[in-house]
Structure 1
């Protein structure tokens, strides 16, 4: 399998004289893989996700995603790269409550220059696939947590990204909604979507991931193939 993500000798320091928040770390993620990133608070999980997303830059080492050295792209080029290649789903959804569900989903596509009709068609396709079509004209504040997370995932997928990053996607959900989101992510992975998810939810990692890494104090402590349901 070809590698979608390659980190080589990556370290990130927020304090120039202190220990790195992450690394040094060398890590590859293949296309089609679902990687769960686990570890205690402060272990470097979010730092890793931010480096892969291009939201942060490494102090040392290189970060390559989809064949591009994103650590040396300009901020403008990074923003464009994220819109075209990376979808992100967040713990607290980050939806715009003054827009309808359909408009929230279409927004990233419109920002990349996709025409209104094409963006609406893609949003309809995703809403149907994720079981939220009936909420198209509803504002997110009227939805349950699980429904809002489905909207967030649809928005993350609207530009057909090669990589889906999920930051604690079940962290703000009740048990039933968390189960629904686990099943959704598992189905996406079964369909070939590459996923990197940061989670404290071991059942999420076990259900979705084909591989799991465990970070401790910014270092890779364990890298295992998970017994995921495929």
Structure 2
């Protein structure tokens, strides 16, 4: 079994003293697995996601993603690795309002040096797949929340990342748009995309992920497999 994520003895402390914000914790996520991370506010969910994304480094332990010890990479190497191997989707989309939908999607590919024509072809494929082709020349501010989240997912997938990280992807959406994104994540999981999903929404976790971990006070309180992902 190939592991896309492997955390060994990972802990994160802020300020150098006191109880860690996370860990020590060990965790593996297999290729093609969809993992949901749940827990109350302050439980360590965001810290865990930031460590996996390479946005923060552990105080102790090792973080391996797609075969690389990312906690040992320089900031420059880490930024490149993140662009190439990790796609990220956020609660508030983080789209650039002065760029069109197509240009927002293509931006990460251009940052990795992909030729503009090749990036445009890939963006076109993703827009078709996600049902947003008609919005290619529109600007994010003209779209609904659900449509903007689809743009954000397309942008996250443009470089064919080994790992998709989603941080409260339905948190800013109404019920209908949230259901739309839930179906999208489920389709991606069925297609073999490795996903780590941080959410307060237990229904989202249960419907999209084959496995759920629950954090409490920085520690792994539960690790359960779903009976089936519908």
Alignment of 1:54-65 (within 5 A): 54-65=54-65
Q: What runs of 5+ residues in structure 2 fail to find an aligned partner?
A: none
1:227, distance to aligned residue in structure 2 (A): 3.1
- Please say if residues 38 and 214 of structure 1, whose CA atoms lie closer than 8 Å, have aligned partners that are also in contact: yes
User: Is 1:176 the equivalent of 2:176?
Assistant: yes
Q: Report the equivalent of 1:43.
A: 43
Query: Larger deviation: 13-22 or 193-202?
Result: 13-22
| Counterpart mapping for 1:118-157 below 5 A | 118-157=118-157
Give SS of 1:127's match.
helix
Measured after TM superposition, the shift of residue 27 of structure 1 is 0.5
Q: Which residue of structure 2 aligns with residue 82 of structure 1?
A: 82
**8 Å contact kept, 1:4–1:65:** yes
Q: In structure 1, what is the equivalent of residue 72 of structure 2?
A: 72
Q: Which runs of 5+ in 1 are unaligned?
A: none
Q: How many angstroms apart in 2 are the aligned matches of 1:138 and 1:148?
A: 11
CA distance in 2: counterparts of 1:17 and 1:212, whole angstroms: 30
Question: TM-score by structure 2 length?
Answer: 0.99
Whether the 8 Å CA contact 1:206–1:227 is kept in 2: the answer is no
SS at match of 1:183: helix
On the 8 A contact 1:92/1:172 being kept in 2, the answer is yes
Question: 2-side partners of 1:227 and 1:171: how far apart?
Answer: 25
Structure-2 separation of matches of 1:6 and 1:99? 36
Name the CA distance, whole Å, in 2 between partners of 1:229 and 1:216. 25
Q: Distance in 1 between matches of 2:105 and 2:45?
A: 27
Per-residue deviation, 1:62: 0.3
* Runs (4+) off by over 4 Å: none
Tell me the CA shift for residue 18 of structure 1: 1.6
Q: What is the TM-score of this pair, normalised by structure 1?
A: 0.99
Distance 1:226 1:43 in 2: 22
Shift of 1:15: 2.0
Partner of 2:194: 194
In the TM superposition, residue 17 of structure 1 has moved relative to its aligned partner by: 1.1
- Which residue of structure 2 lines up, in the alignment, with residue 112 of structure 1? 112
Structure 1 residue 61: Cα displacement: 0.3
